[in-house]
Amino acid sequence: MTDKGTVTHAGILKWVDEVAALTKPDRVLICDGSEGEREQIVKECLATGELIELNQTRMPRCYLHRSAPHDVARTEHLTYVCTNNQDDSGPNNNWMAPAAAKAKLTPLFDGAMRGRTMFVVPFLMGPSGSEFSKVGVEITDSRYVVLSMRIMTRVGRVALEHLGGSDDFTRCLHSLGDLSPDRRFIMHFPEENTVWSIGSGYGGNALLGKKCMALRLASWLARKEGWLAEHMLILGLQDPQNKIHYVCGAFPSACGKTNLAMLVPPASMPGWKATTVGDDIAWLRPAPDGRLYAVNPEAGFFGVVPGTSRKTNPTAFDMIQHDTLFTNVALRPDGTPWWEGHDDPAPAEALDWQGRPWTPSSAEKAAHPNSRFTAPATNCATLSPEFDNPSGVPIEAILFGARRQRRVPLVYEARNWQHGTFLGATLSSETTAAATGKVGVLRRDPMAMWPFCGYNMGDYFQHWLDVGSTLTRPPKIFRVNWFRTGDDGKFLWPGFGDNLRVLQWILERCAGRGEFTDSAIGHLPTLHAIDRKGLSMTDQQMAALLKVDPAEWVEAVAGQEDLIHMFGSHFPAALRQEHDELARRIHTAITPEELEGRDSGM
Ligand code: GTP
Ligand code: SPV
Ligand code: MN
């Protein structure tokens, strides 16, 4: 039985019929995005156990979803970019020939939706009426995915109207399959504007508008069309003179994008106001005025829950008190959620993320470290008035940030766009729980896009250089690190709202002010350039945060050779020059004795 709703688009209907013939669902429902539809799907989820109702008096329309225990994060080793020519996907992606990938997955999709409903979700990435925006249609057998897509994207009529009679929509096919990691694949076909994902219900694997379409496929398209699809937050900052500035920041997964996007200025910085445009993805286009403009293609926030509190991120904390889906958090007896880093102390008893009894003496964490909230952007109190602006916002600065306990200073500035591209290309970060695998291991993550670039990253670096050369007023580029630690293992920088102090220096630099020294690695703030008013931080502590130890950087330079070799002839000559220049400056700054006994590293 097919309920076509109001859809008349022949291309969509034809594809729906083809998928239904393969997956053999009991029922097909084409979603319209209405409130009644949401209520109906929630009701079904409560009946099947896909959702648990949270305390509706205190947290209206909030629900808890518990995933399968082995389906809690992105699985990068099961994620493929399937291009006809392997070189096009690059050493940064797993590759399979498109025909081989389809031959592998077709039997897995065959009959996969038997006994289930097949939902068809037309969605729009980007503001309605924007030349940036793209339409996708996700077919899924997961109600949780439908409810999440309704929050994370603009669903229903708005998407169909944007599409009109065009056949230019991304075909996003998703099934939970049997949820076994042995039969889990996330396959991208950039040459066919198509994604096939089976075996996972987790965010980045299953909400196909997000990482699959808005980053991997969009980055491929962006290269063809002369723009950039990036893993970036977009933040508006109103200074005490009431001038509004926009900055973007690329930080790897679980490295602070959502928190920076919702920054609350410290009390000692009156007159500053922060607004949120996006927390995870930015589509950036050169405009006729020579500047780079950004839109957030998403309509909601899929954020890391642990560590979210009234102290660290009050905006997010308030936002998730209503209309929010929680995934894999703990449940208190009063029907409210709890997690590590919550303002409330650990409850005497609770159910952990898998629904097992938990007490503070339990060995395991109550909430999964990658537990998530899914909340609509319109519930964010700091949402920028420009959020829906079809032209986007002009970007003054781009930040590359990562989790680095050692070596990397709090902030430094690239000398120009080419040097900034080099800083992005050589980014590396300690791994987090957002992807399966070991946590805390240093790995390369150029531009925070390693898991998300849908083509050869050597070509991607060149594309960055090419886009920069079209800009007459390019953003300034900075590297930041909130996560440097002292000898005691504690963070040296307070982070969160106090990151505005660093942003203030960044905006000063954009205006041609702000004190700096030209260090071997780039422009470094002088000891007093970053405002510490209201912070109890000594000169020694600030010096430790800003320290550039040439001996430590020798290791970094040596490690970059691996990156350069990995991309062979695809690695841009201009970035190799930047590498040589860094090596030259570092070696000038170091004594021969210091050079001995150093290994290569990142
Ligand atoms: P994804 O959604 O995975 O892309 O992550 P994200 O980059 O948006 O990271 P998020 O802002 O959710 O932060 C991840 C974790 O880092 C949370 O536990 C935060 O509390 C913590 N965090 C964020 N900003 C800071 C900071 O400035 N300092 C410190 N010490 N921790 C931070
Ligand atoms: C990330 O891992 O960078 C996320 C979460 O933003 S997911 O959408 O699952 O990729
Ligand atoms: Mn992310």
Q: Which residues contact 35 (CB under 8 A, 6 or more apart)?
A: none
**pLDDT by residue (tens digit) across 510-565?**
999 999 999 999 999 999 999 999 999 999 999 999 999 999 999 999 999 999 99
Helix, strand, or coil (residue 258): helix
Asked if 431 and 443 count as a contact pair (C-beta separation under 8 A), the reply is yes
Q: Is the pLDDT of residue 4 over 80?
A: no
* Whether the CB of 253 sits within 6 Å of ligand 2: yes
**pLDDT by residue (tens digit) across 330-345?**
999 999 999 999 999 9
Q: Which residues pair with 208 in a beta bridge?
A: none
Ligand 2 atom at minimum distance from 205 CA: 9
Task: Report residue 6's pLDDT band, with 50, 70 and 90 as the boundaries.
Answer: confident
Q: How buried is residue 225: exposed, middle or buried, by Cβ count under 10 Å (0-12/13-18/19+)? A: exposed
Q: Residue 514 carries which DSSP code?
A: S
pLDDT of residue 589: 84
Q: Residue 475 carries which DSSP code?
A: P
* Whether the CB of 302 sits within 6 Å of ligand 2: yes
Task: Report residue 573's pLDDT band, with 50, 70 and 90 as the boundaries.
Answer: very high
| Mutational pocket test of ligand 2: of 302, 432, 439, 453, the residue with most ligand atoms within 8 Å of the beta carbon | 302
Query: Would strands 194-198 and 476-480 be described as parallel, antiparallel, or unpaired?
Result: unpaired
Q: Which two tokens stand for residue 455?
A: 């083509």
Please tell me whether the overall predicted TM-score, pTM, comes out greater than 0.75 for this model: yes
pLDDT of residue 348: 98
Q: Residue 1 carries which DSSP code?
A: -
Ligand 1 atom at minimum distance from 233 CA: 8
Which chain residues have CB less than 5 Å from ligand 3, an ion? 253, 280
Strands (E), 328-441: 330-331, 337-338, 350-351, 357-358, 372-376, 393-394, 397-401, 411-413, 428-430
**pLDDT by residue (tens digit) across 302-332?**
999 999 999 999 999 999 999 999 999 999 9
- Ligand 3 center to 412 CA (angstroms): 23
* Whether the CB of 204 sits within 6 Å of ligand 2: yes
Task: Report residue 598's pLDDT band, with 50, 70 and 90 as the boundaries.
Answer: low
List phi, psi (to 5°) of 555: -60, -45
Exposure b/e, 3-32, CB count within 10 A at least 16 = b: eebebebeebeebbeebbebbbbeebbbbb
CA separation for the pair 154, 165 (Å, rounded): 19
Q: Is the pLDDT of residue 5 over 90?
A: no
**pLDDT by residue (tens digit) across 132-176?**
999 999 999 999 999 999 999 999 999 999 999 999 999 999 999
Residue ranges lining ligand 1, Cβ < 6 Å: 251, 253-259, 279-280, 303-304, 306-307, 312, 434, 482, 491, 495-496, 499
Ramachandran area for residue 528 (φ above 0: left; ψ -120 to 50: alpha; else beta)? alpha
**pLDDT by residue (tens digit) across 72-112?**
999 999 999 999 999 999 999 999 999 999 999 999 999 99
**pLDDT by residue (tens digit) across 411-453?**
999 999 999 999 999 999 999 999 999 999 999 999 999 999 9
Q: Which residues pair with 428 in a beta bridge?
A: 444
Residue with tokens 């699809």: 229
Residues annotated as catalytic are: 255
**pLDDT by residue (tens digit) across 201-219?**
999 999 999 999 999 999 9
Question: Apex CA 144: angle with CA 143 and CA 148, to 5°?
Answer: 115
Asked if 331 and 52 count as a contact pair (C-beta separation under 8 A), the reply is yes
* Percent of the chain topping pLDDT 90: 97
Asked if 216 and 452 count as a contact pair (C-beta separation under 8 A), the reply is yes
Q: Is the pLDDT of residue 277 over 60?
A: yes
pLDDT of residue 7: 87
Q: Residue 446 carries which DSSP code?
A: G
User: Would you mind telling me the total number of residues written for the chain in this entry?
Assistant: 602
CB 68: neighbour CB atoms within 10 A?
A: 16
CA distances from 377 to 201, 236, 540 (A): 22, 15, 41
CB 567: neighbour CB atoms within 10 A?
A: 22
